[in-house]
Each structure stands twice: as structure tokens, then as C-alpha cells.
Structure 1
Amino acid sequence: MRASIDVCGCFPTGKHYPGIAERMARLTTRVRGMAEGFEPATVWAAARFAVLDFETTGLDPEVDRVIEIGVACFEGGELVETRNWLVNPGMPIGEESKAITGITDEMVADAPSFGGVWDEVRVVLTGRIPVAYNHAFDSKFLWAECRRLGLPPRGSELPPAACDDGVWIDPLVWAREIQKDEKGHKLGDVCARLGVSLETAHRANHDAEAAGRVLLALAAKMPERYGDLLRVQQRYAATQDVEITWRRR
């Protein structure tokens, strides 16, 4: 059964009229947080989307820095590309981060800075709906790194993920709602319940791919249209206590 959506297809009498929902959806021209270039009626699961995952020196995006970027790109419900970049953060990696990710200062010593890989990352993200598992963590790190590069906070010249007024699709919000009676909603827990492979947790490209597969595995119980999904997701997220921590996975 699909999650409830804002457009019901009925008049105040309660009587359903075929086609009303579709006509009303077409009249919706703007949904807060939508990625530019996509319509509210877009079937998101078949669209081009990019799942992002960042490993970082710590948990504070205003102080800490990205040390690894993973992106998994999906089109038509299929994985079409994965990319991974190690990043020199210009600061020591925290001990907790080293223990969780296995990434050391030596591993990133000769890696480029975030600015050195941004052009490649930007190309991969352009024209794709952004997705992340607990997007409050990953989106804030991306936006902080973009500010350090002097990029504008939003605009058509940026990929949707880099616009700081955007709302990313978040599989964690949906897992918490759809699997609310299950114990544990870290990425690894949800992967295990859905039969999704997670080869190396806490390495960015593996986490990104697994999060994308989780999202598609939950899709049948989510709104089909992109605009409806964002509206419902924002309502669900407002009632959920999403802790920003590495333990999310």
C-alpha cells in the first residue's frame, strides 16, 4: 500500500473522480526543495538520481572536512555508475573517524583537496536528483565545502545537490516509517532486512550504492511522483528524531 499523498483525487463530497489526481498534480508547479529540472509529476524511481555519501574528519560541517566522496548514479531503476574520491582535508583525521572508516592521514596525504576534485564531482551530480541516507549529515558537509570554494548557495549553474535550499530524497526517513516496527534503522540493519548487499560499510562508494538499492527496494511503498514524495517525506522527517552520527549506518 502506498504512503498517503497530498493530492487525493476527490471533491469535498468525498466522491472519487478518475483523472482528477493527475490533473491536480499537473497544476502543481512548485514543491519546496525540488531539484531544478524535474517536475512534481516525475516518477522519481525511473529518473536520474545520484546517491551521495561522505566520510569526514568529524561530525561538525563548519569545522570538519570531507575525506572521501562516494556517488552511485541510477537511471531507470538501475545502477549505471559509481565513483569514489579520496580527499585531503588539510587537517588531521579524528581518531573516531579513523577507527570507523579505516581511512588514515597517510592514505589521503597525496590526495587532492575538495576543490581539486569538485569539477569531476559536479559533472557526475549535474542533472540528477540528490539522495543520501540521513541527508542532514551529507548535504550539510557538501554545502559547507562549496561555501569554502566561494560558490553561490544556489543557482541554475550548480548541480541540484549543491543548492542549499534543496531537499534530498532520504531513504532513512522512509525506512523509519515503512519499517517502524523493526528494531534498528542504520543502513546495515535495513540492508540486512531487505537483502541488500553492503560490502564495506563506512567506505563512501559502497554506502552510496547500498543506500540507492535500499531506496529502490522501498519504492513500492512510497509515493510514485517526486513532488508527492518530497511533501510526504518532509512531514515524516518532522516527526522523527534523526540523530546525526556515524552510528546511523
Structure 2
Amino acid sequence: MKEHVGCGCFPTGRHYPGIAHLLRVRARGTVVDLDADAAWIDLPIAVLDTETTGRDPANDRIVEIGVVVGVRGEVVKRLNWLVNPEIPIPDAAREVHGISDDDVKDAPTFKQLAGEIAEALRGVVPAAYNASFDKSFVAAELARSGLVLDAMPTCMRPEIEWVDPLVWARELQKYEKGKKLGEVAARLGIALENAHRASDDAEAALKVLYAFGGDTRVPRTYGALVQEQRRLGRAQEDSFAAWRARNPRP
């Protein structure tokens, strides 16, 4: 997991223009195996986190992956795999997550774990903190593993939106300084003792998501949650792009 902190924008209330229309149609971006009209907190939510050799999914590799599943606010499953990346782990990456070449030399490769990881992501609401990072790495690794399309979990399809607590942190804590997972969790009274270890980060992100679920600005149904997150994500990207235009890099 890597975090790219931008600014939030567009405060929202419990309702916003167009919500009725969104609820009348099949919610775009949801996992088709799940009921988009169900309360998302009642559905199985799998929060995934990866630790990697770098930031580029095309050339870097996963060295650890964690999946923590929650239902109705409780953790029901916690999975963690060390992964042999088959390339050296750079010092800069090791300094972040503490995983060395020796730690993974006898671990299975992602290809050997692909089926097991895919199974853990079936029939769940997919989620990750800064989801685009983790989803892109898992997608790249699954593609390299040779897993056939029919064997891929539904949540890995490009059109599926992963629930992202970071998007909600930028909205619900927009006036608070710092949007890293540990900073957001601390403000909510959630402990994160082993930051940058996959299953620990995933569990903290799940608890952050559940905590945000108590805010009246967060939609209750899975479909509405995804649609509002998409709207917020676009607004945040536009806001960051405008800020970058006003503050160009030297």
C-alpha cells in the first residue's frame, strides 16, 4: 500500500442531487454477485493490502499480501502470505516494510499462490486503502501468473470499484492534517501496531471503514456507497489537478 495524499472537496450531506436516479438503476462498479441494495456493512468485505518491491506494478513485485474479511463490523477471517518476488528487494523498500530477501527466499511465488488468493477474493466487497495501488499490483501479478480469465475473481474486473477508505478520509477528515492510514486510524482511536505489514494494515483499514460507516454522510447501501465514492474520487482528483496547476514542480 502506498498513499498519495490530496485534498478533499465537495462536502456532502445525507442526500445529494441525483441519488434517487442512482438507486433506481443497477449500480455501476459493484460486484454483480452481491446485492447492490443491501446494507454494505452486512456484506462480507475483504480489505486487501500489499507490500512490494517498489511503486511500479509493471516492473515491481509483491512481497507480502494480506486479506482481512469483515461482516457486520467484526473481523471473521485474517489471511497473510509472504511472497517470493523472484527479484531482489531494494533497500528503500525493505526500510519501509522490513521484509528482506532472506525472509522470502523460501516463500511461494505469486504464481503458486494465485489460486488461493483469487479464492479469498470471491463473493466479497473488495476494499483497500488507496485501492488503485493494491488493485493494480494484484491485477499485474494475476496476469503474470497465467490465471485464465474465467478463474479470476469478479472483483478484479477493471469496471469494479474497490471501496477505498482513503477517499472517505479525504472527505470526512478533510480539515485534519495527514491522511496516511496510521494518522487516520489514530484520530478514530484505532490501533495500528505493525504499520506496513500487510494483514495489520488491512485490518486497520477495515476498522477505519467501519468507523466511517457511522457517519451520516456515508451511504448505507453498497450500490450508493460505490456511486458516491466515485463522485468524491473524481472531485478529489479534479481538486488535486487544480492545485498542481497552481503549484507546478520546479
Question: Which TM-score tier does this pair reach, normalised by the shorter chain?
Answer: 0.7 to 0.9
Equivalents in 1 of 2:107, 2:99: separation in Å? 12
The aligned amino acid for 1:85 is W
Q: Distance in 2 between matches of 1:42 and 1:96?
A: 43
2:225 is aligned with 1:214: no
Q: How does 1:37-186 map to 2 (within 5 A)?
A: 37-152=33-148, 157-186=151-180
Q: CA deviation at 1:167?
A: 0.9
Q: Aligned equivalents of 2:178 and 2:117: distance in 1? A: 32
Q: Say which SS state the counterpart of residue 74 (structure 1) adopts.
A: strand
Shift of 1:115: 1.2
Partner of 2:25: 28
Q: Displacement of 1:4 after TM fit?
A: 3.2
Using the size of structure 2 for normalisation, the TM-score is 0.84
State how far apart, in whole Å, the 2-side matches of 1:176 and 1:189 are. Answer: 12
Counterpart among 15, 36, 40 of residue 4 in structure 1: 15
SS in 1 for 2:214: helix
Name the structure 2 match of 1:247.
none
Is the CA contact 2:114–2:145 (under 8 Å) kept in the aligned structure 1?
A: no
The C-alpha deviation readout for 1:21-73, integer Å capped at 9, x for no partner, is 9xx83x422x2221121122121111111000000000000110000000100
1:223 alignment partner, SS class: coil
Give, in whole Å, the separation in 2 of the partners of 1:34 and 1:192: 30
The separation in 1 between residues aligned to 2:193 and 2:181, in whole angstroms, is 12
Structure 2 unmatched runs, 5+: 1-11, 242-250
Name the SS for the 2:213 alignment partner. Answer: helix
- Provide the TM-score with structure 1 as the length reference: 0.85
Q: What's the CA shift for 1:6?
A: 5.6
Where 2:96 maps in the other structure, the secondary structure is helix
Task: Describe the shift of the 1:113–1:239 C-alpha distance in structure 2 as closer, same or farther (beyond 3 A).
Answer: same
Aligned residues, how many?
226
> Once superposed, which parts of structure 1, at least 4 consecutive aligned residues long, lie more than 6 Å away?
none
Partner residue of 2:181? 187
Q: Distance in 2 between matches of 1:114 and 1:217?
A: 32
Give the match for residue 4 of structure 2.
none
Q: Which has the higher contact order (CA 8 A, sep 6+)?
A: 2
Q: Distance in 1 between matches of 2:208 and 2:189?
A: 9
Unmatched 5+ stretches in structure 1: 10-20, 244-249
Query: By how many angstroms is 1:95 displaced?
Result: 1.5
Match of 1:18 in 2: none
Match of 2:232 in 1: 236
Instruction: Provide Cα deviations, 1:171-200, integer angstroms capped at 9, x if missing partner.
Output: 000011001111111000001000011120
Q: How far has the Cα of 1:3 moved from its partner?
A: 4.1
Partner SS, residue 184 of structure 1: coil
Q: Quick one: which amino acid aligns to residue 76 of structure 1? A: R
* Aligned alpha-carbon RMSD (Å): 2.0
Find the counterpart in structure 1 of residue 248 from structure 2: none
Q: Distance in 1 between the 2:224 and 2:103 partners?
A: 43
CA distance in structure 1 between the partners assigned to 2:124 and 2:50 by the alignment = 17
- Contact 1:56 1:65 (C-alpha < 8 Å) held by counterparts: yes
Q: CA offsets per residue over residues 112-167 of structure 1, 9 Å max, x none? A: 000111222122211111000000100000110111122356x5x43233223211
Shift of 1:5: 4.7
Deviation at 1:7, TM superposition (A): 5.3
CA deviation after TM superposition for structure 1 residue 240, in Å = 2.0
- Mapped to 2, the partners of 1:3 and 1:109 lie a distance apart of 50
- Separation of aligned partners in 2, 1:100 and 1:145: 21
Call closer, same or farther: CA 1:6–1:126 in 2, change over 3 Å. Answer: farther
Percent of aligned pairs sharing the same letter: 43
